[in-house]
């Protein structure tokens, strides 16, 4: 069993149109709604990969019931905590000029009694899980170090903890040393407190975080693919994986798909996965993330498309040469 934690889920309302003009009336051509939020996208992808998943987090109102029904239909074991407010809706605007615009609501606040019930559901879920994934933003009412507390508890129970967050929630979560984090370039810059413009600078940042006690750091670089490092007897080896270009329908959720693949590949890996294991994990994650952009709904990836793309994923391995 794998536990997915989504503290601030959403209904993803995706609209398509010719263009988006600020300050003007914009008439969209199509509208679709999907269960979403980063952790929900991870959940959907893990189920498509055949994994048994328990989903926990906060849901409320009609929108929350929509997501709950969707996940149960997928066969997810749901132990979500109900909150008084409605689960948020995010708006994804896809226009023919190639732009993807996201409008994100803040989400419902979490009262103290709901947080206490969530803690009980989280502990129940971990009791039968080998790994847990903490994904996305924190709702109002929870402190910035909330993920850090969950990570520490999970590690005490012997559960492998994965974190995909941003801002202060990521920075404070890193201090609890989860097994793996997957920042994008901007999130890695936030952690390091400086711009990282060259590949050598990204590599140095990854190695720095690993030296601080993180076993795995995988950085998503958008269309340039994924990057990580592996400790070797003589130092560190950098591994990159980039997928071929594909027709882009919707880029939302590709990072979540890559997280799901990393979890599946590494949930049972040694504490320090070797280069062969990490290269395979990055290859699969890059292929599935690339396949995700060809679909309208996030986390619903054709295995046939992903497996075909995997043959065209380019990986590289080279030694880390020290500080740039």
What pLDDT digit, counting tens, does each position of 175-190 carry? Answer: 999 999 999 999 999 9
* Residues linked to residue 94 through DSSP beta bridges, in sequence order: 16, 100
Same-domain check for residues 209 and 140: no
Predicted local distance difference test score (pLDDT) of residue 42: 96
Distance CA(66)–CA(49), nearest Å, equals: 23
256 is catalytic: yes
Comparison of pLDDT for 260 and 311, the residue scoring more: 260
Predicted local distance difference test score (pLDDT) of residue 72: 97
* Residues linked to residue 10 through DSSP beta bridges, in sequence order: 36, 88
Distance CA(63)–CA(283), nearest Å, equals: 35
Average pLDDT of the chain, as a whole number: 93
> How far is CA 248 from each of CA 30, 98, 221, rounded to the nearest angstrom?
17, 8, 16
Residue 24 domain-assigned (yes or no): no
Same-domain check for residues 9 and 149: yes
Residue whose tokens read 């003009």: 21
Q: What is the DSSP string of 179-220?
A: SEE--BHHHHHHHHTS---SHHHHHHHHHHHHHTT-SEE-EE
Same-domain check for residues 269 and 323: yes
Same-domain check for residues 267 and 120: no
Among the candidates 155, 176, 197, a domain finishes at 176
> How far is CA 241 from each of CA 46, 145, 276, 298, rounded to the nearest angstrom?
21, 32, 13, 21
pLDDT digits (tens, 9 = 90+) for 23-68: 999 999 999 998 999 999 999 999 999 999 999 999 999 999 999 9
Domain count for the chain? 2
Among the candidates 176, 210, 235, a domain finishes at 176
pTM to 2 decimals? 0.93
In 3D space, the residue among 149, 195, 186 whose CA is nearest the CA of residue 166 turns out to be: 186
Residue 54 domain-assigned (yes or no): yes
Among the candidates 122, 145, 176, a domain finishes at 176
**Domain membership of residue 225 as a residue range:** 179-324
- Pick the catalytic residue from 12, 145, 164, 256: 256
Predicted local distance difference test score (pLDDT) of residue 324: 47
Task: Count the Cβ atoms, other than its own, within 10 Å of residue 105.
Answer: 15
Same-domain check for residues 218 and 136: no
């Amino acid at each position: 069993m794998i536990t997915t934690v989504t503290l601030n889920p959403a209904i993803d309302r995706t609209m398509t149109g010719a263009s988006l003009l600020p300050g003007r009336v914009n008439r969209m051509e199509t509208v679709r709604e999907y269960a979403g939020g980063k952790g929900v996208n991870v959940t959907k992808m893990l189920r498509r990969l055949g994994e048994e998943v328990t989903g926990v987090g906060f849901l409320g109102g009609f929108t929350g019931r929509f997501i709950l029904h969707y996940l149960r239909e997928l066969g997810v074991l749901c132990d979500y905590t109900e909150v008084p407010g409605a689960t948020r809706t995010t708006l994804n605007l896809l226009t023919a000029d190639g732009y993807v615009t996201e409008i994100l609501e803040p989400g419902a606040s979490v009262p103290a009694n709901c947080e206490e019930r969530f803690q009980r559901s989280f502990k129940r879920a971990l009791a039968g899980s080998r790994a847990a994934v903490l994904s996305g933003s924190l709702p109002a009412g929870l402190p910035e170090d909330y993920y850090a507390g969950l990570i520490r508890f999970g590690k005490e129970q012997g559960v492998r903890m994965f974190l995909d967050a941003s801002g202060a929630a990521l920075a404070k979560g890193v201090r609890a040393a989860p097994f793996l984090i997957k920042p994008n370039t901007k999130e890695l810059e936030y952690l390091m407190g400086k711009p990282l413009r060259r590949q050598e600078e990204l590599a140095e940042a990854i190695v720095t975080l690993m030296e601080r006690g993180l076993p795995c750091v995988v950085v998503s670089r958008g269309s340039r693919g994924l990057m990580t490092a592996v400790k070797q007897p003589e130092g560190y080896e950098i591994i990159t994986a980039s997928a071929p270009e594909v027709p882009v329908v919707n880029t939302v959720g590709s990072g979540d798909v890559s997280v799901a693949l990393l979890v599946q590949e590494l949930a049972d890996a040694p504490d320090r996965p070797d280069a062969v294991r990490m290269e395979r994990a990055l290859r699969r994650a890059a292929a599935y993330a690339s396949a995700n952009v060809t679909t309208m709904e996030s986390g619903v990836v054709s295995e046939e498309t992903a497996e075909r793309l995997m043959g065209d994923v380019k990986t590289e391995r080279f030694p880390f040469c020290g500080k740039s």
